Structure 1
Amino acid sequence: MDKKIIVITGASGTGKTTISKYLQDTYHIPSVITHTTRLPRTGEKNGIDYYFETKDSFSNNHYLEKVEYSGNWYGSSEESLNRTWEQYDAASIVVDTKGAVSYKEKYGKNAVVIFLEVDLETVTQRLENRGDDKARLQTRINSNEFQRDLKIPEELRGKSYVIVNNNIKITKETVAKILVNEKIK
């Protein structure tokens, strides 16, 4: 059986983490652990929440995507995905649209891309409800990355599943159908 990576992408506030957690809780599909150079927050554990790296150790991995944010690096590596695939036939990962394109290019049909879409008004409301600072929220919404992630990239058109996530119950039902369609569960 082919190993699969379920790549969940879309803008902030579209429900990516919720869907990743749903896959884990309902189907026991683990999330690939990503790497960061930031220090662990209280209660976070290395190898569970992230692989906490130094700037030097971070550069030793082969990244499918990486980004610098607030002076720290974050990335998802082939090494981490392969470790997950040693134990499971399927895994999920939450990445921005640029990262999703990288996964699709590298893994082809084994990368099942789910693009979550929500209208800007709903996303803004969700981010506000999540407690994001209003000034930082405006900066984020106006950023090139956020604007880019609101739309499915050309490279993924016709090669991924697009779900308008206005109702989490319907979205979860759609994800369940995708798993059947892709012979994942």
Structure 2
Amino acid sequence: MKAEGLKIILSGPSGSGKGTIVRELIKKEHFILSVSATTRLPRQGEQDGVHYFFKTKEEFETMIKDDELLEYAQFCDNYYGTPKTFIEESVKNGKDVILEIEVQGALQVKAIYPEALFVFVMPPTLTELENRLVGRNTETPAVIAQRLARAKEEVAFYKEYDYVVINDSLEEAICDIETIVAAEKLRSSRFKQEIEKVWNA
């Protein structure tokens, strides 16, 4: 009896390493990254349905009207959003769909997909997080301070998630998430219909 794929909501502070974890996970056949829709023009090398679903403004606004988006926002006169159909069809086809979303967005998604798997990724300590942000050498001390303050706010929501993964070692963090996903697929509730069909025939 083959279980459907999972909707995996992955959140964590900037510098927690969640982006790197996602890039490694989607190299594996059964994981797939949720593809967003946008009204911006494709950049060189971008493919429709791979990097984004490219839509006209009218098409996107129709999707909003028809409640076809999990969430959406508007930036610089362009719309961006997550189509429900892509997620639901991918899951039915056995794919584990990863949505890398910040905390507030994740809570909104939880209201729509309470059955989804919510994983919070965090560094081992605040000091380590600061070291990672400084080590990027891409932001000013003021911006780093803002990110650290925001990280403290985000970590306060860890109880809203099903699991916490401490990213002290990238390899171990990836292994932890794969273990979580494997265990979730074996929950008895996911086999209810199949078992009743076979054993109550």
TM-score by length of 1: 0.76
Alignment of 1:24-35 (within 5 A): 24-35=26-37
Q: Distance in 2 between matches of 1:77 and 1:106?
A: 13
- Which residue of the partner structure matches residue 160 of structure 1? 162
Identity %: 25
Cα distance change, pair 85–179 in 1 and its aligned pair in 2 (3 A)? closer
Q: Give 1:99's aligned amino acid.
A: G
Q: Give 1:124's aligned amino acid.
A: L
Q: 3-state SS of the aligned residue for 2:121?
A: strand
The CA RMSD over aligned residues, in Å, is 2.9
Q: Deviations over 1:54-107 (max 9, x none)?
A: 222222322222233344332212122123234334221111112211222222
- Which residue of the partner structure matches residue 99 of structure 1? 105
Shift of 1:43: 0.7
Q: 3-state SS of the aligned residue for 2:155?
A: coil
- Which residue of the partner structure matches residue 78 of structure 2? 72
Figure out how many residues of one structure are paired with residues of the other and give that number: 175
Q: Distance in 1 between matches of 2:152 and 2:37?
A: 23
Q: 3-state SS of the aligned residue for 1:179?
A: helix
Question: Are 2:130 and 2:144, in contact at CA under 8 Å, matched by a contact in 1?
Answer: no
Cα distance change, pair 146–50 in 1 and its aligned pair in 2 (3 A)? farther
- Which residue of the partner structure matches residue 125 of structure 1? 134
- Which residue of the partner structure matches residue 150 of structure 1? 154
Q: Distance in 2 between matches of 1:147 and 1:32?
A: 24
Q: 3-state SS of the aligned residue for 2:112?
A: helix
- Which residue of the partner structure matches residue 117 of structure 2? 112
Q: 3-state SS of the aligned residue for 1:30?
A: strand
Shift of 1:148: 7.7
Q: 3-state SS of the aligned residue for 2:26?
A: helix
Q: Distance in 2 between matches of 1:41 and 1:98?
A: 29
Whether 1:87 and 2:89 are equivalent positions in the alignment is no
Shift of 1:121: 0.5
Larger Rg: 2
Question: Are 1:63 and 1:75, in contact at CA under 8 Å, matched by a contact in 2?
Answer: yes
Q: Deviations over 1:23-64 (max 9, x none)?
A: 322352111211122222211111100112222222232222
Gaps of 5+ in 1: none
Question: Are 1:7 and 1:93, in contact at CA under 8 Å, matched by a contact in 2?
Answer: yes
Question: Are 1:32 and 1:84, in contact at CA under 8 Å, matched by a contact in 2?
Answer: no
TM-score by length of 2: 0.71
Gaps of 5+ in 2: 187-201
Q: Distance in 1 between matches of 2:97 and 2:22?
A: 9
Q: Distance in 1 between matches of 2:78 and 2:41?
A: 9
